[in-house]
Structures are given as structure tokens and as C-alpha cells.
Chains A and B, each alone.
Chain A
Amino acid sequence: MPIHEKSLIRPENLLTHDKLTIDGVDVSGHWSTFIEARVVTDYNEELETEIAALPGGENIHRCWQCGSCTNSCTVNAIEPRFNPRYWIYLIRMGFESELLRDKDIIWQCVSCHKCTYACPRDVEPEGVMKATAHWLELKGHTARSPSMHFDLEFTEQVVARGRIEDVEVLRGFFRRTKQPLLQDWLVEIGWRLAKRLPVKWGIKSALALVFKPRTRSWGKARLAIADYIHEREEKDKKALHLDQSKGGRVAANENSAAGRLAAAE
């Protein structure tokens, strides 16, 4: 069955009659399986244009549906619903309602680059996955994904100081996603390490949290990047016809670049 008819064979679209006789032949049960006819009218003709306007989605129009991306996909191997080829098809057709059925897993792309390696048309399917995940968030179809929380925490640290501090990123991520920092497995790791590591190491790690690593002569780069991110966000909102007065994604707290920029003005 062609990929565009995949949705027709979902359980709710299948009709089976317990008792049915056609031309004198008993086709009850399994033998009377039919597919419900459907008429699609709710195409979103803007869908491809909008996703192509977001970073990473630029090359979606090149796709010729060979399926190399899904075939090589790391996530597809453990979650068959994760199907980049199918999503690219839906986006190009404007099948928004079908795409939204998978909205909560699209962010799970692990950036292994296997699809980009395999794609004969340089679509960069990984980029399309990221753009689609952004589109879903920006349009309000999904809450901010755990992955985006992580990326934003990380990026804000880079913009603010030029470098990140791993433990600080970990803490910031759990804080943003409202999860307890003391996960059983992290505690276990801490115990295992504590048994072996010298005290000196603990002191060094604690100091890194207070005196966070930072890049020297970073100030001007920070301001330039804050400007750039602001422009990028405005561009994205415009492309998606969103309210431009609403705040950006990279938070403007006092430690973030945007916040410092605001304070400097």
C-alpha cells in the first residue's frame, strides 16, 4: 500500500461485518474487511512553506520519497511510528491533521546524522525534524519538549558566558522540566564516584559551579549573538503568522544574553 494511504488501514477505518453474505458466498468476519471511504478537505496549504521557513526545513521540497531516511533511522528502529519519510510526505501534502497524530514524538530525533548521510537529495531530514518540532511548539500544538528545554538551557549558558558547565546544565534542565535532581540512577552514579574520587576532585567540581567557566573577551560576541537570536525569533514568528509582541524563546532572565542586553540599554 502506498505511503499516502497508510492512514486508511488504521483500525478505526476498517469495516468488518460479523455476518455478511455476498452473491451467496458467506464472507462473515475477516473475509468482509473493507476500508472506509474518505474525502480529505482540510489541507493546510501553508504547512510546507511554514516549515521550510524555519531553520533546518529549507530543503524539504527536494524530497522524492525514496525512504532512505526512515530506513536508516535510529529512532525508527525502536519506535516504528517515528517515520521521517511519512512526515515529510504529510507536510508536503498539507495533511496537518495526520501530522498532528504524531506530534508528541517528532522531537525525539537523536541527531545521529544517519538520514543526512543516506539522503540522495540533500534534504537533511534531521533538520526537517527539528523544524517540524519547532513548528509544533510555536503553533501551540505541543508543549515545549524536554529536548527543547535542554537546548535552551544550554544555549543560554553559551550565549551568556561563551562556555557551559555540565553540572549546571543538568541542574538547569531538571529545574526547567520540574523534575527532581535526585534521580535514583544519578544518585547511584554519585555514590559510585564518591567512593573512588579524592576530596580534591569534589572541591574542584564545587568551585566550577561557583566560578563558572567563561570565555575571555566574550562581551561583544554575547551582545551580537543576542541581537541575532532576537532577529531570528522575529523572522520565525513572521513566517508562521504569529503574534510578534509575545516574548522570545531564549529567556530574558538576568543571566541570559537578552537580559543583559536589555539591562545595557
Chain B
Amino acid sequence: MSEKTKKQEYGTVGYYPGCALEGSANGYDVSTRAVAKKLGLGLKDVKNWNCCGAMEVKNVDPKLQTYLSARVLSNAVNLDHMNTVMAPCNGCYHNLKKAEYDLKHDAKSREVVDELSRKARHKTYEAGQVETIHALDWIKETIGEEGLKERTKGKLAGLKVANYYGCMYVRPRHIFPEKDQGPGSESTSKPHFMDDLLAAAGAENVEFPLKTACCGGAHTLSDSDTSTRLVLNILQAAEAAGADVIATECPTCHTGLEMHQVRAEKRFGKKTSVKIMYFTQLLGLALGIGPRRLGIHTNISDASDLIVDKRLT
């Protein structure tokens, strides 16, 4: 066991943004980087990273997805010499965790990854070399609630937030062995890390029953009516709970909520006005970073009035 505490361990982490954060979820990327800078945390981009397979490649072949995720982990340990990789995207986070689990427990997965790595001429990835964490774990372990309280001075006071975690951060339970380990650990049935961080920044978390409901993100375009119905449930539940804003931690959920909020209005005449922001954008505002530097203007959901009303700048 290393003598280092998690706080030191996570001080500088390998950063795996993933495809979405380079494209449609750019606001999540810039806000994560801005928050890291403000908090004095180091991010080292994983060299030559590739797509983790998202929710699509597994439907062509699940073990190909394991290879794609394993290549990212292999690069982190062999090219960057990092033993922690932080992925803010739930999809990436989930897939790296799943690859870790499969490589630890399934010989057939190891065989496929070893063979593909050999043919692709890079070192294979062996389970246990890298610890994958989410942006939530990272801020919680390094700065923590006390640290955020000091730095934000309750800046988000008066803001009612529905924390939305989605599917990939908590399910299935077996790929997250560190969760459900009692006090201090994350729960897969009632996750609370995002609630904890935003509460520390002064926000009022509303009682939101759909924290881990599915937004239909995998079929945002291919089965839009189903997605719109699922998203509308989430938006309406958040409004019923009195939320001003839904805090997100996943680009697929975030974009899905935003797109189907518009679609529900256009196609079904169901208008909802709750705003949608990445939790890093909210934390950034709490830390006194300007909205544009957090990419809030690049969200489809226009939160500019809310930011003025709640004096968040």
C-alpha cells in the first residue's frame, strides 16, 4: 500500500476528456479545466487517447469496446506514467471501469485485449495498473466539502438544484467495487457526491427522486420519441421539486436533456423552463470564475437570466 493519501494521489491526475468533451460537451471540458486551475489541481491529458467505445461499439462487439478502453488505460500508464485517470464523462468513466472489471475477472477479455494490443504494437493493459475516477471523486477527495466551503463562501446560496447522476455513474454495481462501502463512500442507489459538493458551495439541493433515472441517451436520435418521454419525466420531476437548475455530470445526459427539452416543446407542446448546467459550471461560478470562461454560453439551455437573478457572477 502506498503511504500517499488520496488527496496527494489525486493532486495531479491523467485526464481523459473523451470525444464528447472535445465536441458538443465542450462546456464540460472548459469548466473542468477552469475549476482545476482555480483549485490548484493538475491535469495531464492522456497521450494519444482514443474513443472508449461509448454506448455504441459494444453493440457491434463488447470485447472490442473493452480493447478501446484498455488502450486508453495502457497509454496512461505506459506513455504518461500515471496511475490515476480522471474521466468527467460518465460514458468514458463507466467503460474504463468496465474494462478494468472484465480484465480482472474474464480470461476471454484478457485474451482479446492482449491480442489486439500485440497487433497494434503497444503494451497491453493489465488490471490494477490504473485507478479510474470520476470528476466527482476527484474534487471530493482533493478539495472536499470543507475546502469548497472555505473557497466559495456559500456563493450558490438561494439556488435550488436537482442533482442528476444518470445511469452510467452507478450501474451496474459490480464494476464499481469502491462504491456502497459505507460512510464516506458513494452509493449506487442514492448517489450523493454531487449533492455534497454543491451543498458545500451553498446550493440548496431539492428532493429529486429521478437522480439515477435514464434519459434515453443511447437512443437520443435513433428513438427520439422514447427519449423525449424519458427526458420530459426528468424535467417535470425537477420542476415539481422546485429546482431552478438540473446539475449534470454526463455529456450524453446533459445534451439529451437539452435537446429533448426543445423537442418536447416543438413536437408535443410541453414547455419546461428548468435550466441545465454541468456541475463543474456551477462549481466554477461558486469559485468566482466568469460564465463565459466556463462555457455556459455554449449550452443549449440558456441560463443567462438565472445567473443574473441569483447573482452568480
Residues of A whose CB lies within 8 Å of any CB of B are 55-56, 74-75, 78-79, 108, 110-114, 116-117, 127, 130, 145-152, 154-155, 158, 162-167, 170, 173-174, 177, 184-186, 188-189, 192-193, 196-197, 201, 208, 213, 215-218, 220-221, 223-225, 227-229, 232, 249-250
| Contact of B266 with A147 in the complex, beta carbons under 8 Å | no
> Judging by beta carbons under 8 Å apart, are B19 and A155 in contact?
no
State whether B22 touches A150 (Cβ < 8 A). no
Residue B53 lies at the interface, judged by CB distance under 8 Å to chain A: yes
A213 to B188, CA, bound (A): 34
A164 with B19: CB separation less than 8 A? yes
Query: Given the complex of chains A and B, what is the CA–CA distance between A130 and B56 in angstroms?
Result: 11
Question: Inside 8 A of B300's CB, which chain A residues have their CB?
Answer: 189, 192-193
Instruction: List 4 additional A-B contacts (Cβ < 8 Å) besides A149-B222, A164-B54.
Output: A165-B19, A186-B259, A221-B122, A223-B120
Q: Is there an interface contact between B230 and A74, defined as CB atoms closer than 8 Å?
A: yes
Query: Distance in Å from the Cβ of A177 to the closest Cβ of chain B?
Result: 8
Output the nearest chain B residue to A112 by Cβ-Cβ distance.
B214
Q: A78-B229, A201-B298 are in contact. Are A111 and B55 (CB under 8 A)?
A: yes
B residues 15-66 near A (Cβ < 8 Å) are 19-20, 22-24, 48-51, 53-64
Establish whether residues B172 and A113, one from each chain, have CB atoms under 8 Å apart when the complex forms.
Answer: yes
Q: How far is the CA of A78 from the CA of B228 in the complex (A)?
A: 12
Residues on B with C-beta less than 8 A from A56 are 62
Known: A55-B63, A167-B23, A229-B64. A147 touches B51 (CB 8 A): no
Which residues of A are found within 8 Å of B51, using beta-carbon distances?
158, 162-164, 215
In the complex, are the beta carbons of B262 and A192 less than 8 A apart? yes
The minimal Cβ–Cβ distance linking A75 to chain B, given in whole angstroms, is: 7
C-alpha gap A151/B59 in the complex (Å): 7
Interface centre among A151, A152, A155, A229 (most CB of B within 10 A): A155
The answer to whether B221 and A150 touch across the interface, beta carbons within 8 angstroms, is yes
Q: Specify which chain B residues have a CB less than 8 angstroms from the CB of A216 in the assembled complex.
A: 48
User: Pick the contact of A117 from B50, B171, B227, B230 — CB < 8 Å?
Assistant: B171
Contact B171 A225 (CB under 8 A): no
| A113 CB contacts on chain B under 8 angstroms | 167-168, 171-172
State A262–B22 Cα separation when bound (angstroms).
31
Interface centre among B57, B122, B173 (most CB of A within 10 A): B57
The chain B residue sitting closest to A204, CB to CB, is B26
Instruction: Report the separation of the CA atoms of residues A158 and B60 in the bound assembly, to the nearest whole angstrom.
Output: 12
11 A-B interface contacts by CB (under 8 A): A74-B213, A110-B216, A112-B171, A117-B171, A146-B223, A151-B56, A170-B221, A185-B266, A197-B297, A217-B48, A223-B120
Could you tell me if B223 and A197 are in contact, using CB atoms closer than 8 angstroms?
no
* A residues near B19, Cβ cutoff 8 Å: 163-166, 213
B116 cross-chain contacts in A, Cβ below 8 A: 221, 224-225, 228
Decide if B157 is an interface residue (CB 8 Å cutoff): no
- Closest chain-B Cβ to A175's Cβ sits at a distance in Å of 12
Distance A3 CA – B120 CA, assembled complex (angstroms): 49
Contacts of A220 in B (CB 8 A): 119-121
By a CB distance below 8 angstroms, the chain A residues around B227 are 110
Given contacts A75-B226, A147-B219, A162-B50, contact A189 B262 (CB under 8 A): yes
Residues of A within 8 A of B302 (CB): 192, 196
Give the contacts of B43-101 with A (CB-CB under 8 A): 48-51, 53-64, 67-68, 71
Interface members, chain B 216-273 (any A CB < 8 Å): 216-219, 221-223, 226-227, 229-230, 258-259, 262-263, 266-267
